Amino acid sequence: MKKIDVIIIGAGPVGLFAVHQLGIKGLKAVVIDNLDKAGGQCIELYPDKPIYDIPAVPECTGKELTDRLLEQIKPFKTELYLNERVEEVTSKGDNWEVKTSNKKEFIAPNIIIAGGVGSFEPRKLSIKDTEKFEGKSIFYAVKNKDEFKNKNICIFGGGDSALDWTLELSKFSKITLIHRRDDFRGAQHTLTEIKKLQKEGKISIKTPFQLDRIEGSEKINAIIIKDDNGKVEKIPTDLVLSFFGLVMKLGPIAEWGLNMDKKTISVNPNNFETNKKGIFAAGDICSYPGKLKLILSGFHEVALASVECFKRARPNEKYRFEFTTSSKTIKDRLGKK
Amino acid sequence: MAKITYIDFQGNSKSIEVENGLTVMEGAIQNNIQGIDADCGGSMACATCHVYVNNEWLDKLPKPEEGEVDMIDMAFEPKKNSRLSCQITVSDELNGLIVTTPEKQS
């Protein structure tokens, strides 16, 4: 079990800036996030879209903002635990113990939840009975390509993931690509490649079709697809791959005994502490009177929360407010001369 | 101002007077209409404000831009009359608009 000053849940802009605010106070943090990269919604939902309301940055994209924050927190050499979701939070005296989906364990006097709208997870197929096939015949990602060799595979979706995996898996399996409309959105060269394979009869494309039902008991035998006019087709199928993007799920956070207001966590706006001592919430996931869901609000929230974190992590030291421009201690922590 | 009617998947309907300039999504969120999540807050990035537009209204709305249609690909049970409610801006012309929310958003 790793002992640390602060456990930050969520590697979005607010979680990353929390590292900075804690770091200049001399506190060590770890960051845990369910995505495979830092940046949260900025990197997953709008990496290329411009943001115009970051103070002193007239315009930047979600990706640029993330990169700059990562640069800003570099001096603190903070460990990011990605592809991991925090599952359990339990009280241990004045500390909190955290367990992740990868069975990692941390203990700290403080937790900052900067979880946005929740963790990103694949959007599941919407028809009944898909759950019992999940991990056996239905997949939302390809982890081990070998499991997808010499099979009849139906791929659902119209974006890059669906197109890229159609190309890749068509090398050794029979692929049917199914999409609800005739247009696909993907890189031009990928689309050209797909058209070529279709012409050569190496893949089959079914549009505009959606999944109607599944046949099979233990494993899938066939799927039935349907178009807008009710026309149905049956396709013999071993495996289904579905790529309908990611959704945000609040997940286990709702079970930690925190005071919630719909999908947000109620906090004290003086220090952004929740109803549990030492657990803070900041960014889109917190709520208090007048709350605005802006990145800049999240920055302010973690700045104040970090002061309270200091008091809990260093009960025998006095907190001193300092400016980064003039404090020698802070400059040392930032590695500046 | 326009009267917008939100019908849920079970047929329960609620009519709300929504101010011009707000989106159909914002009208729902501000009035606690169930069935619209709007996780991304209206940046056309999540498809959780998905609605079915009543057929007689479908052609009266400005056509969706490409990004919206792309996002609808991700939505729960998309149909021909699917729209993202964050992309429909309310004006006097929309008085009487009827939208139905899907069984779920994700």
A254, two tokens: 């709702």
Please report the pLDDT score of residue A297 as a whole number: 98
CATH number of this structure's domain B2-100: 3.10.20.30
* Test mutation, A121, A248, A264, A293, chain B, max B CBs within 10 A: A248
Residue A252, preceding bond cis, omega within 30 degrees? no
From the CA of B96, how many Å to the nearest CA of chain A? 27
Q: Across the interface, which of B41, B46, B78 has its CB nearest the CB of A293?
A: B41
Return the DSSP state at A148.
G
Residue A322: name the closest of A335, A333, A309, A337 by CA.
Answer: A333
Rounded to the nearest angstrom, the minimum Cα separation between A45 and chain B is 6
- CATH classification of A124-244, choosing from 3.50.50.60, 3.10.129.10, 3.30.56.10, 1.10.1040.10? 3.50.50.60
The dihedral over CA atoms of A120, A145, A200, A161, expressed in degrees to the nearest 10, equals 10
Give the three-class secondary structure for A318: coil
- Cα distance between residue B96 and residue A41, in whole Å: 35
CB pairs under 8 A between A and B: 49
| Residue to substitute from A126, A156, A191, A293, interface B, most B β-carbons within 10 A | A126
CB atoms within 10 A of CB B3: 14
Q: Residue A126 has what pLDDT?
A: 81
pLDDT at A143: 85
**Interaxial angle between packed helices A13-23 and A62-73, expressed in degrees from 0 to 180 and rounded to the nearest 10:** 20
pLDDT of amino acid A127: 84
ipTM value of the model? Answer: 0.83
The pLDDT assigned to A129 comes to 80
**Of A199, A191, A158, A149, which is closest to residue A177 (Cα–Cα)?**
A158
**A77 touching chain B per CB within 8 A:** no
CA distance B78 to A210: 9
Q: What pLDDT, on a 0 to 100 scale, did the predictor assign at position B81? A: 95
Tell me if B106 and A247 make a contact (CB, 8 A cut-off).
yes
CA of A162: how far to CAs of A45, A166, A190, in Å? 18, 6, 11
Report yes or no: A282 and A304 within 8 Å, Cβ to Cβ: no
- To test the contact with chain B by mutation, choose from A128, A130, A161, A185 the residue with the greatest count of B C-beta atoms within 10 A, namely A185
d(CA A10, CA A112): 9
Distances (CA, A) of A257 to A34, A101, B104: 21, 19, 26
Q: Considering the domain A2-121+247-333 in this protein, what is its CATH number? A: 3.50.50.60
CB contact set of A145 (below 8 Å; sequence gap of 6+): A168, A169
DSSP assignment of A90-109: EEETTEEEEEETT--EEEES
Which residue of B lies nearest to A160 if distances are taken between CA atoms? Answer: B70
Angle, to 10 degrees, between the axis of helix A13-23 and the axis of helix A295-313?
40
Written as one letter, the residue type at A28 is K
Tens of pLDDT along B34-73? 999 998 889 888 899 999 999 999 999 999 999 999 999 9
Does A2-121+247-333 match A124-244 in CATH topology?
yes
Please tell me what DSSP assigns to residue A166: H
Q: Residue A108: how many CA atoms within 13 Å on its side-chain side?
A: 26
* Residue B65 DSSP class: P
- The chain B residue lying nearest A50, using CA atoms, is B43
Residue ranges per domain, chain A? 2-121+247-333, 124-244
Distance from CA of B80 to the nearest CA of A (A): 8
- Domains of chain B by residue range: 2-100
CB atoms inside a 10 Å sphere around CB A172 = 13
pLDDT score for B26: 97
Strand partners of residue A32: A9, A81
H or E stretch at A167: helix A160-169
Of A231, A289, A312, which is closest to residue A5 (Cα–Cα)? A312
How far apart are the CA of B38 and the nearest CA of chain A, in angstroms? 10
Give me the tens of pLDDT residue by residue for chain A, a chain 337 residues long. 999 999 999 999 999 999 999 999 999 999 999 999 999 999 988 888 899 999 999 999 999 999 999 999 999 999 999 999 999 999 999 999 999 999 999 999 999 999 999 988 899 998 878 889 999 999 999 988 999 999 999 999 999 999 999 999 999 999 999 999 999 988 899 999 999 999 999 999 999 999 999 999 999 999 999 998 899 999 999 999 999 988 888 889 999 999 998 889 999 999 999 999 999 999 999 999 999 999 999 999 999 999 999 999 999 999 999 999 999 999 999 999 8
How many angstroms separate the CA of residue A291 from the nearest CA in chain B? Answer: 14
Q: In this predicted model, what pLDDT tens digit does every residue of A78-137 receive, in sequence order?
A: 999 999 999 999 999 999 999 999 999 999 999 999 999 998 889 999 887 888 999 999
- Chain B environment of A159 (Cβ under 8 Å): 70, 73
